Amino acid sequence: MNIASVLQGLATFSWVLVVGIIILAVVRASRARPLKGAVSLVIGAVIFSLVLTTVSAGLVFLQADQYGVVISAIQPNGYRTEPLGPGLHWVVPFVESVKPYSVAKQTYTMATASTEGTVQGDDSIQCRTKDGQQVFIDASVIYSIDPVHLINLHITWQSRFEDLVVRPVVRSAIRDAVSQYGVEEIVSTKRAELEKTISDEIKQGLTANNLIMDDFLLRNIRFSDEYAAAVEQKQIAEQQALQAKFVVETKKQEAEQVRQTAQGAADAAVIAAQGEAKSIQIRAEAQAQANDLLSKSLTQELLTYTYINKLAPNVQVMYLPSGTPLLLPSTSPDTAVPSVPTTTQP
């Protein structure tokens, strides 16, 4: 509670007290028991009430979010040229009064739902797009009074600025902006651009009328029932096409997977065959090298020695085919055998 309100309350109570004293004095006088000093008491109470009333009428307290326009009967143009800011102020009693205005942020909403908008009922903005489609816009604008230009606002609009400025400026800006875009653009690629276009136009319109736009919200875009049904059918067709494309891609991937598996098996078989061939080649080359080394190591003496060692111990006579060279006895003492006569077959 501020001091101005307290003084106004005291002034009111003092006048009630004056009336009570007067009534009491009249009643006692009617009973032949006059109230001593009643006249002086009444005069004192009246003077006190007048003082309180005058002081309370001259004191004005404005809240932290309030500015006031001083309406004055002693000013040439009927008002003070500067508004009063928050706090306690003094004005000339009975010839000046203060019209307070809130400079706090306010929200004006126009929506389809009856409980959401500032105006009851369907208050959405009906618009036409560049391609002739009908859309319904739900929007909110957050604004405030410009305290620097409060006097001009009061002179021009007084307290009617919300209905006569904010509402028509916002609705007009939305309709003008929507008419510059196609229906597909405002719901997809250019919605942000549309919102900025509307915001700039509203800001310009409110500034011209001594108001400040703090923010604009494009809450919802709703289509006519016919267009909404057409969009739904189009979306269903697109989803079906995407599903069919997905099935085709899945089949392609499965076929590619089978092909890669078969290719992998074929490559593995080739690699295995190549490995086997390489292994055979290496074994053959090793055998050839072994044979070559063996052939180089075979001498007549070695063959004779090996042949003799392979003979049975009890062999005394051998028959050789015609033309076969004679076997010579081994020179080794351990393996020496006696010479035997040989018989040549006719």
pLDDT at 222: 86
Please state which of the four CATH numbers 3.90.25.10, 3.40.50.2000, 3.40.50.300, 3.30.479.30 is assigned to the domain occupying 106-223.
Answer: 3.30.479.30
Q: What is the pLDDT of residues 107-148, one digit of tens each?
A: 999 998 888 888 888 899 999 999 888 899 999 999 999 999
pLDDT at 148: 94
Q: What is the pLDDT of residues 37-55, one digit of tens each?
A: 667 777 877 888 888 788 8
What are the domain boundaries of the chain?
3-102, 106-223, 237-284
Q: Following DSSP, what letter does each residue of 223-285 receive, concatenated?
A: E-HHHHHHHHHHHHHHHHHHHHHHHHHHHHHHHHHHHHHHHHHHHHHHHHHHHHHHHHHHHHH
On average, the pLDDT of the chain sits at 81
pLDDT at 67: 96
pLDDT at 333: 45
Mean pLDDT of 220-236: 70
Spatial separation of the C-alpha atoms in residues 212 and 65, rounded to whole Å? 15
Q: What is the pTM of this model?
A: 0.59
